[in-house]
């Protein structure tokens, strides 16, 4: 593959390995399942695949509790299989990005096990944020307190450790040079195995202001993790400047920040020329299906990223949020919940899918890079009826079921409508139960339907590539009465986010539409129009 700034316009597909495809009959997705379905990604037309964690882990947080950063959990395969996956992806023209989780380790990591056996004040304990008493009242993102006793994990003393997430995920102390040096080595380990980049988990959380005044529970909640004292500290940027030097020693590599920072000016600090190449655009993900809100987010994104020479990025779903085919149909105030269940008002599935398709066409026509989450190309909704006994997200247990967690967006994919487990693996086993509605969303059903969501994604990605939309420039034409319209090169986009039909502009030929159009663009519909050709 040629050396270019490929990430500036790439469409990158997230694989959550547990839920993508099972090749070993245990009901859990694995690297072999990814290899077996690389052709799906090739036919879809994406440029790269991002793999969520596959490292050795007790799986208390879906693999984001890492016990060893230099290996593959036997649940998913081994290092040789990982190397084959990278090689086969590269042969297919796909880049490979992997997750790095630097904010915390698993409590089963060798370092934390050494800390448990060591005495207070020892070098082994200095790798983590450990104090004689809790020094603040911070709460865990997953619910409950963010401080736990070392004795709860088997130590012989009463010191406390910080965990912004689950109690099995102790936070590392990034003022410790051994921690910093170890992660530079980890980056090189995977770069030497030919990965093309890294998605950095909780990138805004590595540095904490432990001396800050106490905060309310809401301030420490995931919905407000935009600034101090545990998020978005200025000190994180020094760490990533060191990381960038490592990546610059290799050709054509990149890293993208998972920084839940909703201030576009603060986000831009992460993508200065000597730090990250990209950061996820969570301001876009959290925007309502509203023309005014979307216009503001798009303008803020372009202004802030162009100012530092970084590419725009766009995303609508991932493994941590309600799938946008459900979220976009929720009433205001509910769309930020991290889980829905039978006791919550159930959204209109048809409305959600219409809006999801329209929002997707809007996103894929924007200049810059776009991220897709596995299954969104099938129009998968959130699984809202998972029984309590099936749930595995630690949020569910830590909040006594008040917050349902993220299992609903992590349900195994449907590949074949008439097969057990919808073809997820060789048996009917799936680590989370699939709803009956998944049969209609299966890949084999949609592949032969030119009007399906899968066909729309394939067509849109082909046109995006043909017309170089990722490297284009946006020119606004109209934003009024719930209508967004802009030009990108030879394509004009019209998105009707209102409740009334819109007369179809006479710009040329409609080449893609999220919903059937004639002389009007229906509500909740986006169309792409090629200039200069009559309809």
Tell me the catalytic residues.
Answer: 201, 258
Contact 18, 166 (CB under 8 A): no
Contact 325, 411 (CB under 8 A): no
State the Cα–Cα distance between residues 485 and 515, nearest whole angstrom. Answer: 16
Contact 327, 382 (CB under 8 A): yes
Reference 217, options 152, 136, 134; nearest CA is 136
- Other CB atoms within 10 A of residue 57 CB: 24
- Other CB atoms within 10 A of residue 458 CB: 18
For residue 144 the two structure tokens come to: 């409950």
Specify the 3-state DSSP secondary structure of 64. Answer: coil
CA distances from 258 to 133, 282, 505 (A): 30, 9, 38
State the Cα–Cα distance between residues 456 and 187, nearest whole angstrom. Answer: 37
Contact 345, 384 (CB under 8 A): no
CA distances from 524 to 335, 454, 479, 521 (A): 17, 18, 15, 9
Reference 489, options 530, 456, 534; nearest CA is 530
Residue for token pair 């000016």: 265
**Residues whose CB falls within 8 Å of the CB of residue 500, separated by 6 or more in sequence, listed in order:** 523
Contact 72, 31 (CB under 8 A): yes
**Residues whose CB falls within 8 Å of the CB of residue 451, separated by 6 or more in sequence, listed in order:** 516
> What H or E segment, with its residue span, contains residue 447?
helix 443-447
Long-range contact set of residues 433-442: C-beta below 8 Å, sequence gap at least 24 = 433/383, 433/386, 433/387, 433/390, 434/383, 435/383, 435/385, 435/411, 437/349, 437/381, 438/380, 438/411, 438/414, 439/414, 441/375, 441/378, 441/379, 441/380, 441/414, 442/378, 442/414, 442/415, 442/416, 442/417
Contact 55, 71 (CB under 8 A): yes
The dihedrals phi and psi of 503, each to the nearest 5 degrees, come to -60, 135
State the Cα–Cα distance between residues 228 and 231, nearest whole angstrom. Answer: 5
């Amino acid at each position: 593959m040629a050396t270019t700034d490929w990430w500036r316009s790439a469409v990158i597909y997230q694989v959550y390995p547990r839920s993508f495809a099972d090749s070993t009959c245990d009901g859990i997705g694995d690297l072999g399942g990814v290899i077996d379905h690389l052709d799906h990604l090739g036919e879809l037309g994406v440029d790269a695949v991002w793999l969520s964690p596959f490292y050795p882990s007790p799986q208390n947080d879906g693999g984001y509790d890492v016990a060893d950063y230099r290996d593959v959990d036997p649940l998913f395969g081994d290092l040789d299989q990982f190397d084959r996956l990278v090689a086969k992806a590269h042969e297919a023209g796909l880049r490979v990005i992997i997750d790095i989780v630097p904010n915390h380790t698993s409590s089963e990591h060798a370092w934390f096990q050494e800390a448990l056996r060591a005495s207070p004040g020892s070098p082994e304990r200095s790798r983590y944020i450990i104090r004689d008493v809790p020094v603040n009242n911070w709460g865990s993102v997953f619910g409950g307190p963010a401080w736990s006793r070392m004795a709860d994990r088997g130590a012989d003393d009463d010191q406390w450790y910080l965990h912004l997430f689950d109690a099995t995920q102790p936070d590392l102390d990034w003022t410790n040079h051994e921690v910093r040096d170890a992660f530079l080595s980890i980056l090189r380990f995977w770069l030497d195995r030919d990965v093309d980049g890294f998605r950095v988990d909780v990138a805004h959380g590595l540095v904490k202001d432990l001396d800050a005044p106490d905060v309310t529970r809401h301030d420490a909640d995931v919905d407000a993790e935009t600034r101090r004292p545990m998020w978005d500290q200025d000190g994180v940027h020094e760490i990533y400047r060191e990381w960038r030097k490592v990546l610059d020693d290799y050709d054509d590599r990149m890293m993208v920040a998972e920084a839940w920072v909703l201030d576009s000016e603060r986000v831009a600090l992460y993508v200065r020329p000597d730090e990250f190449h990209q950061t996820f655009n969570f301001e876009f993900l959290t925007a309502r299906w509203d023309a005014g809100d979307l216009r503001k987010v798009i303008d803020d994104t372009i202004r802030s990223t162009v100012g530092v020479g970084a590419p725009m990025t766009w995303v609508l779903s991932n493994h941590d949020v309600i799938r946008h085919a459900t979220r976009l149909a929720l009433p205001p105030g509910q769309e930020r919940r991290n889980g829905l269940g039978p006791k919550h008002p159930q959204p209109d599935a048809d409305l959600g899918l219409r809006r999801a398709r329209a929002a997707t066409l809007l996103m894929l026509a924007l200049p810059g890079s776009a991220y897709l989450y596995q299954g969104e190309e099938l129009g998968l909704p959130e699984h809202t009826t998972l029984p309590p006994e099936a749930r595995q997200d630690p949020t569910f247990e830590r909040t006594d079921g008040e917050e349902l967690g993220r299992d609903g967006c992590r349900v195994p994919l449907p590949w074949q409508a008439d097969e057990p487990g919808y073809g997820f693996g060789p048996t009917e086993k799936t680590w989370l139960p699939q709803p009956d509605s998944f049969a209609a969303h299966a890949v084999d059903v949609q592949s032969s339907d030119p009007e399906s969501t899968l066909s729309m994604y394939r067509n849109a990605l082909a046109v995006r590539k043909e017309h170089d939309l990722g490297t284009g420039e946006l020119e606004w034409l109209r934003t009024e009465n719930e209508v967004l319209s802009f030009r990108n090169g030879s394509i004009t986009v019209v998105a009707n986010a209102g409740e009334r039909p819109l007369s179809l502009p006479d710009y040329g030929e409609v080449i893609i539409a999220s919903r059937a159009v004639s002389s009007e663009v229906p509500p909740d519909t986006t169309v792409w129009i090629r200039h200069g050709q009559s309809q």
